[in-house]
Every structure is written in C-alpha cells, then in structure tokens.
Structure 1
Amino acid sequence: MGGTDRTAENAAEAGGIDGTDDDALYVLTAVLLTPAQFPSVLGDDYPAACAALDLEPYAEGYGLVLGQDGAGARWTVIVDDVSLVAVAIASWDCGMEYELSPDERSVVAALPGWPLAVASAAPDLPAPHDPEPEEGDRAPLAPPSADTWGPAQRRLGADEVALQWAAWRSQMDDEGTVDSDTEAGPGTGTDAGTDAGSDRPHDPQEPHDPYDGVRRALAELRGYLEEPPPVGRVRSSFAAGGARMLRADGPGWSLVARTDDMAFVLLDDEPREVLPVARGTKLPALLEALDAMAVRPS
C-alpha cells in the first residue's frame, strides 16, 4: 500500500474540513486510491475499494488523508487532488518534510475512523479515538482485526509477501519449491500448468489438498485474459532487475508474482498459509499476459 506513517513530530495541520479551526485536521499519513494503487484492504479491485467508501470509481482516483481533529478523533478525508497527495507521499517516502494541506474545494468527503492502522498520533492532542456518532452516521472505518482471517487479511498478507519478496523467495529452491533445509515456511510448490484433479469431485476420504484452491485461482487468472475483470484486479509495479511485480486478486484468493520468477498464492480457505507456485512451463506465459493487461502506476 502506498504511503508511510509519519512520526508525531512531523504531523502537520491541514486545512479544516469545513473551514473552522475546531475542525482542523492534523495530518498523520495519506494513501492513494486509484485504479493502479489503492489500499487492498478495501477490496479486490478499484471499484470495490471505492464502494467500501461510498465513492464513485472515477478513473482519476482520489487521495485519502488520515488524521485527527482538534479533539483527537480519527478522520479520513477524501480529496480529488490526487497529484497533491502523490507528491506528499513521495516526499515522506524520501524522508523529506511536506505539509499536506488540501484545499477545501478538493474535499469529496470526510469519513469517521481510519481504514488502515496508523502507528503515529498528533502531538498535544488526546489519544486517537473514533468521533461521537450522530444519528444517520455510518460506522467508523477501522482496520481489519489481526485475530481473524478473511478477504481483507488475505489481501494484506499478499501485499506483505510482495514487500518481503526476497525473504519469501529465499525459502525456495531454484525450481520454486520449498527448500528442504527450511523448517518453517509454506508447503510444496505446484506447476502453474498442472490441471490434474481440478475437475474431479472431491472425495471426502481423500486428504485435503490446499492446491485445489491454487489451481482454481490459476484457472480464474487465465479467464481474466479472455474476459477482463474489474479494473485493478491485476496490478503491475516495478521490480528489481527489469522485472515487474504482479498483484492479482479474485474471489477467495490473492496472487503475488514476479514476471521473471515464480508466484505465491494466498487463499481465504487456508488461513495464513502462503502457497508457492513453481515457474514450470506455463507460468511464464501467464504472467507475461497478465502483465500486459495490468494497470500500472502513472
């Protein structure tokens, strides 16, 4: 997910939500909500992420500014000035100061709560808390619980694998299967071209095979090439060595892959398991085709 938490010392006062000093927002962090970059915790694709915030999925996207009001309450302010938010995020990522102060005219909505966990807090304010609800208000936004497993946690897990690719890849041998010397890690890899058993009815006497879900995910990915999914389901970003990092999601599954290497799949039905997929003979062509159709950050 784009953006970084800033320290409390760097929290800056942004323009008031409605122009009054009492409602001034003390900005803590910000993220982009665009077809190519959006908090995956909100949905499998860009339209779903927008729907989670009651927004129209405009192609230009939005910026989400997370902060506290003068009473310390959590607010997510949504603005349509995407360029301003992108500059702020890039500056913070480089360790530079940047006071993010969106113009009031760019504010689309102000929603109570934060959809993401924020580690910092504004100085000299009460501890972050949800604002007092008023009649008709929507429930405050909140990050997903770490104690359960579901679609949001699965997508966040896939994001983490992408961020820590080298660490996960180091647990595999050159064929993309688990290194036999590694005690902890995911189970045995599978070739992306393996179809065996994918159409057979499940025999309750047979042992559970988590790779049934992996084969289903790969089949749905091949289906994306024939019938394009909602925008943002397949995203491509920069990776070292001239490769691309792919993130793809679908009902019950998430995929992380490098176009020059292997892939990992996470499933709703396999809590906290990261299942490696060997490069094999068919995965390279699939990844190349997905990269060609993927949305990319501008």
Structure 2
Amino acid sequence: MAGSDDAPVAAADEALYVLTAVLLTPAQFPSVLGDDYPAACAALGLTPLDEGYGLVLGQDGDGARWTAVIDDVSLVAVAIASWDCGMEYELSPDERTLVAALPGWPLALAVAAPDVPAPHDPDTEATDPPPLTPPDTSTWGPAQRRLGADEIALQWAEWRGRLDDADVLPNKQASGTEATAPEAEAAPETEPEGTAKPGHPGVRQVLEEARAYIDAPPPLGRVRSSFAPGDARTLRADGPGWSIVARTDDIAFILLDTEPGEVIPVGRGPELPGLLEGLDKIAVRPL
C-alpha cells in the first residue's frame, strides 16, 4: 500500500515525505504489533483511544525514518481507500492533528522517498525512546503467526480452494471431544470415509478459549468482524499463542505459535456455527 511519496507533512520540526499510512483503531490495526488494539498501542507507547489513530510513515529530508501519529482517522482512511483503488491521494495532515512524531517505523517498508538519502534511523538523544523497528518475523512466533492469519483473511478463496470437503472433517472440538482438523499445508493421508482423526489438544484449547470470549469479552480488538461476500462475515480472533480466521458461513483456520508454519482447518460440524455467531456478536467492526 504505497502513498504519495513526494507529499510532505509536518512531523517534529521537519517535512515528512509520506510513503504509506495505516489505521490504528480497535477494528483495524497492524496485527503484527499485537493480539489486540491495546497491545498494538502499547507497542508504540500510545494510549488506546476509542477513536484510534492514523499512522503516517515516511522520511525526513535527511532520509531518516519517522512515524507521524495523528488523530484525524478519517483522513487516513480516505487516503488508504484511494490508494487501494489505484488513485492518487496526497496525504497532508494538518499540524494540529499531530499527536506524536516517533522515530523509526513499526512496519517493514520496501519503498523509499526519491531524492533523499536511503532510509535510516534518526539520531536521537540518550533520553529519547529508541527508534521503532518492525517485529522480528524471521522466525516463527506471534508476529509471524498473526501475519499468516492476515494473509489467509485477504486470500480466503485461495486458501479455501486448497481443501476438498473430505479434507475438513466435521468439527467436534468445540465441545471438547474429537479434533477433525488436518493441516492445510501438508497433504492429509487418505482414510476410510467416516474415520475421525485424533484430537489436537492445541486446537481444542483454542476453541475453548475463543468460546470463553463470548461470556467474558476480551481486550478491544481481539475479535474483529469484517466484510465477506453475501451475508457472511470474515472473523478474526487472536489470543495467547493462537489466531483464528473464519467465515461465518464456512470453516475456520487456526494458527498456533507451537505449530510453526502450519495452518489447521476446522470443519463446521454442529458446534462451530454457534461459536462463530457468538464471536461475531461481540466483535468490533470497521465504521
């Protein structure tokens, strides 16, 4: 998602050449930063306001990386929507909307502003906070797990198309009995029709923890609901060590910190529809 790379905006005492922008709101935030909205804000040292923030990432005239935090969420949302449609949009927030100018970038960018030095961290005083850096995604862990869930949500049709109905057996895990979730990235072994696979304790625990959210709502943003074709919704839920991506009219995919690189599909069965319906009722939604 590239912005207008030659549009300066005031940040600190210098112009910032905008490269991109992202929302930091309860319903939409860079999930690589945390399992929920308060955690994502804490990663940036920000107070989790109900309205959220816009994050504008760019470089100053010396090429240093800066993240401008603004409170004009609508402006950033319009810019992102325009860029996603392939339209030009010069994002130039008013100085009065600036909440903070943070050194560094919290996300990895593959673009750079023209006619300025290569991106680098700015010089800071000893008393200043260290520059922001993207979470380490070189090895499997929470950040990689959440990025994987992001990818599945964006490419649902592709991931769903990898599975035949026979690959996703009816789920009985939500009631704490048998697991029926073969791994999506490994070719499941052929078994006689009607044979149940052994339970996966990690998946059973995830479904139990997700169900507990319905009775005791988790931190804001830990369960999110977004658009899907037809009358369905795309659900995203995260918790300690796990992520769920699901369609309310279909199956769910689970990723675990303890299962590096694995994507576990969970069939609907008798329990999953009710779980997804309950999660959708408590989920935050984009405005």
Q: 1:250 offset after TM fit, Å?
A: 0.4
What SS is found at the alignment partner of 2:230? helix
Query: Match of 2:225, as an amino acid?
Result: S
What TM-score do the two structures reach when normalised by structure 1? 0.86
Q: Return 5+ residue gaps in structure 2 as ranges.
A: 180-197
1:30 and 2:21 matched: yes
> Does the CA-based 8 Å contact 2:177-2:199 persist in structure 1?
no
Corresponding position of 1:202: none
Mean CA deviation greater in 262-271 or 109-118: 109-118
Q: 1:164 offset after TM fit, Å?
A: 1.3
Corresponding position of 1:125: 116
> Does the CA-based 8 Å contact 1:246-1:291 persist in structure 2?
yes
Corresponding position of 1:174: 165
> Does the CA-based 8 Å contact 1:248-1:255 persist in structure 2?
yes
Corresponding position of 2:5: 11
Q: Return 5+ residue gaps in structure 1 as ranges.
A: 178-187, 199-208
Q: For 2:61 and 2:103, how far apart are their aligned partners in 1?
A: 14
Query: Match of 1:115, as an amino acid?
Result: P
Aligned pairs for 1:90-105 within 5 A: 90-105=81-96
1:172 to 1:192, Cα distance in 2 relative to 1, 3 A: farther
Corresponding position of 1:260: 249
What TM-score do the two structures reach when normalised by structure 2? 0.89
Q: For 1:236 and 1:243, how far apart are their aligned partners in 2?
A: 10
Deviations 1:95-130 (A, max 9, x none): 111111111111111111111111211111111111
Aligned pairs for 1:150-229 within 5 A: 150-174=141-165, 177=168, 190-196=171-177, 211-229=200-218
Query: Match of 2:242, as an amino acid?
Result: W
Query: Match of 2:19, as an amino acid?
Result: L
Corresponding position of 2:69: 78
Q: 1:145 offset after TM fit, Å?
A: 2.8
What SS is found at the alignment partner of 1:25? strand
Q: 1:133 offset after TM fit, Å?
A: 2.8
After superposing on structure 2, the runs of 4+ consecutive aligned residues of structure 1 that deviate more than 6 Å are: none
Corresponding position of 1:281: 270
Give me the CA root mean square deviation.
1.8
Q: For 1:191 and 1:78, how far apart are their aligned partners in 2?
A: 45
Q: For 2:146 and 2:199, how far apart are their aligned partners in 1?
A: 18
Mean CA deviation greater in 253-262 or 163-172: 163-172
Percent of residue pairs identical: 68
Q: For 1:175 and 1:210, how far apart are their aligned partners in 2?
A: 17
Q: For 1:277 and 1:90, how far apart are their aligned partners in 2?
A: 33
1:230 and 2:225 matched: no
Q: 1:30 offset after TM fit, Å?
A: 0.3
